A and B are shown apart, each in its own frame.
Chain A
Amino acid sequence: MRHRAGLAALLGPPMLWLVVVYLGALAVIFATAFWTTDPFTNLVLRTFTLENFRELLTPTYLGIIGRTLLIAVLVTVLCMVIAIPFAFFMARVAPRRYRGLLLAAVLVPLWASYLVKAYAWRTMLQPEGVIDSTFGATPGFGLTAVVLTLTYLWLPYMVLPVYAAFERLPESHLEASADLGGRPWTTFRRVVLPSLLPAVAAGSVFTFSLSLGDYIAVQIIGGKLQVLGTAVLQNITLDLPFAAALGTASVVIMVLYLLAVRRTGALENL
């Protein structure tokens, strides 16, 4: 009995936190999405309606959802494309004594403020900025700038798990593949990539969800770009139920993404 009481005392507070604060908040968002507002006072009316979700399916908001998804997918793919060779270099090519240094180089940007980094990119990307003066052109503020900035911001979350996966990959597996007749590219495609898949999936959960929910970088660097995050922000004071419906949309997208990742079997091997 005392054992049970101890266990309850240990697990109680975090469980309470998880259920009340976390799941509770999600439930409230979900419920609010079915309510409406008084058009004159902007106060929330607790009457059931599907109007918010109907509005989500209008071309304007489908466009915003599509654009947000596009950004999240582009950022995730770019992070993979950069992180895999970089992590390979860190774990397998660079001399062991430089590994700590390289790891620090990946991690240090995480310590700097998010805002500082976003504004740094704004400075670099603006007309006459360092990118313009170096390359003679700049993508300016907009979708490209947002994808670049978010890729920069979330890259460590992809590099770290992929680096760990490369570290774990036994040298003998690469030798076995070569021994059995696999040329380097075959070995990479058939042995290395599949072993990285769980790590890439884990990293992509971060890059995808963080991109999906971001609205600050978009405001700083996106020009007039509208994404789910900024749409929530605009509606939160005037039309809370619609903002909740937008929030529900991103939760649903994320759940679908996780289910898709799970189908690859990558999550079981984490």
Chain B
Amino acid sequence: MAAQTATGTPAIRLDGLRKDFAGTPPVVAVHDVDLDVRAGEFFSMLGPSGSGKTTVLRMIAGFEEPTSGRIELAGEDVTRRQPYERDVNTVFQDYALFPHMSVAENVEYGLLVKKVSRAERRSRVAEALEQVRLGDHGSRRPSQLSGGQRQRVALARALVNRPTVLLLDEPLGALDLKLREQMQVELKGIQRDVGITFLFVTHDQEEALTLSDRIAVFNAGRIEQVGTAHDVYESPASAFVAGFVGTSNLLTGETARAVMRRDGSFAIRPEKVAVVPSGAPLGGPSGSTADGVMTADGVLEEVVYGGPVTRYVVALDAGGRLTALEQNAGTRPDAAALHRGARVTLHWRPDHVIDVPGQPSPQSSSAPEPASLGGLAQQ
């Protein structure tokens, strides 16, 4: 099915999609969103909770009616259609497995209500369960399965219908870290095998970066940026994206002028910033060359050892803070000199500096937390 639509027509096209929730004043959950999702793509909608990504997903599924705008599925306008009249299937955050049915009956449900013949139902259910490696669990009840297994049943129940688009609403949110990572790999593999367009909602930036062909970053009901993982991480289109996707050092206003020697807002990824004791030669462990590097002096405020990496938080003389993240590939000879309160010099290559569009408030010169950045971006 996906192959038929791959000739140019997007699997999903959103045109000026808007959703207001009743209230005084009405809450605008989604602001006139335009988006094209290509057929066969693994597409993620990334954003903090309340950013509108789940509402967009629910409007595509048909659970919420848009206040205005259009939804097209494979070129067909489905805006006013009921959920059962749309060729999409959803994997719910809580899985929503029917507790009174066996695993096989759950998977069979969509085929049953669409009056697919018994023989075909049986073979497709078996195939779908095999695909999620639950071939011998068909007769169990959902309550007898582990969280990861339920998640896979939910996936099989949706995939067995071979929809144009599979919608996934934070499907890994309820799993523990190890299982999450394992399911991410599996999910990506399944998507590659079936070739169905996946539209994936998550608030976990790492998950979105790992899985997606492309990502739309949501903030306050709007899309801030659409691009590949590389685009979104290396060239964020706004201060919000820079802060939300990965952690960022954001320099604005006076601090930016003092450090960068030009006006504007800038972001630098912590792993691209190196730290040395004051007076020591630059280019130490990070391997950067001394020519053309940018530097900033400050006082080491915090040294956080985190296993594979160590994080250094530095209060700049020019105001504000910068974080440097360093791989613990070996022991630094100057480790003893990098203690709290020590004078240090930070340095980075100019081509690692990201120009961030938009004019966030000048008072705050650096804000590593996405929450505070969200606040900035809205101003």
Instruction: Give the B-binding residues of A (Cβ under 8 A).
Output: 170, 172-173, 175-183, 186, 190-191, 194-195, 197
Contacts and interface: CB of A to CB of B under 8 A. Distances in A.
20 contacts: A170-B96, A172-B94, A176-B98, A177-B98, A177-B113, A178-B82, A178-B83, A179-B83, A179-B84, A179-B89, A180-B84, A180-B89, A180-B157, A181-B110, A181-B113, A181-B114, A182-B109, A183-B84, A183-B113, A194-B98
A194 B113 CA distance: 16
B63 interface: yes
Contacts of B94: 170, 172
Query: Which 10 pairs from chain A and chain B are nearest by CB?
Result: A180-B110, A172-B96, A176-B96, A178-B83, A194-B100, A182-B113, A179-B90, A181-B113, A181-B114, A181-B84
Interface of B: 61-63, 82-84, 88-90, 92-94, 96-101, 109-110, 113-114, 157-158, 161
B62 A178 contact: yes
Contacts of A191: 98
Contacts of B93: 172
Given A179-B84, A181-B84, A195 B92 contact: no
B98 A175 contact: no
A181 B114 CA distance: 7
A179 B98 CA distance: 13
A190 B157 CA distance: 16
Given A180-B89, A181-B110, A181-B161, 14 more contacts: A172-B93, A172-B94, A175-B83, A175-B96, A177-B113, A178-B82, A178-B84, A179-B158, A180-B109, A180-B157, A181-B114, A183-B84, A194-B100, A195-B99
Nearest to B100: A194
Max count, chain A CB within 10 A of own CB: residue among B63, B88, B92, B96: B96
Nearest to B107: A180
Nearest to B105: A190
B88 to A, nearest CB: 8
A219 to B, nearest CB: 42
Contact of B96 (A173, A182, A194): A173
A183 B113 CA distance: 8
A183 B62 CA distance: 13
A199 to B, nearest CB: 12
Given A181-B84, A194-B100, A195-B99, A176 B113 contact: no
Contacts of A179: 61-63, 83-84, 88-90, 158
A49 B201 CA distance: 76
B361 to A, nearest CB: 40
A173 B97 CA distance: 7
A213 to B, nearest CB: 32
Contacts of A197: 100
Given A176-B92, A180-B89, A183-B84, A195 B100 contact: yes
A175 B109 CA distance: 13
Contacts of A173: 96, 98
A172 B83 CA distance: 13
A60 to B, nearest CB: 44
Nearest to B85: A181
A170 B92 CA distance: 12
Nearest to A182: B113
B84 A182 contact: yes
